[in-house]
């Protein structure tokens, strides 16, 4: 059974993260990380998201937006 969707609280700062299953690597090379970072920037602009902090590691990422 899935969790109940969170309600949006309006404007604020949200921590967004994702981890790989079984701690497998999702970013194996610097090119992988750069592609992900470019996508993050590309898709944050049309939605007027401010990315304040970000961390990209081999098996997960974290953003504060």
Decide if 29 is inside a domain: yes
From edge to edge, which strands make up the β-sheet containing 60-64? 15-19, 60-64, 53-56
Residue 10 lies in a domain: no
Instruction: Give pLDDT, residue 9.
Output: 67
pLDDT on residue 49: 83
How many structural domains are present in the chain? 1
Is residue 35 included in any domain, yes or no?
A: yes
Range of the domain at 40: 15-64
pLDDT tens readout for residues 6-61: 776 667 787 777 888 888 888 888 898 899 889 988 988 898 888 888 888 888 78
Contacts made by residues 3-11, CB under 8 angstroms, sequence distance 24+: none
């Amino acid at each position: 059974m899935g969790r109940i969707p969170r309600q949006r609280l309006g404007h604020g700062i949200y921590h967004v993260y994702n981890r790989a299953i079984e701690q497998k690597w999702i970013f194996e090379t610097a090119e992988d990380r750069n592609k992900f970072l470019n996508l993050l920037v590309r898709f944050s602009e049309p939605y007027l998201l401010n990315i304040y902090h970000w961390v990209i590691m081999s098996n997960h990422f974290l953003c504060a937006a």
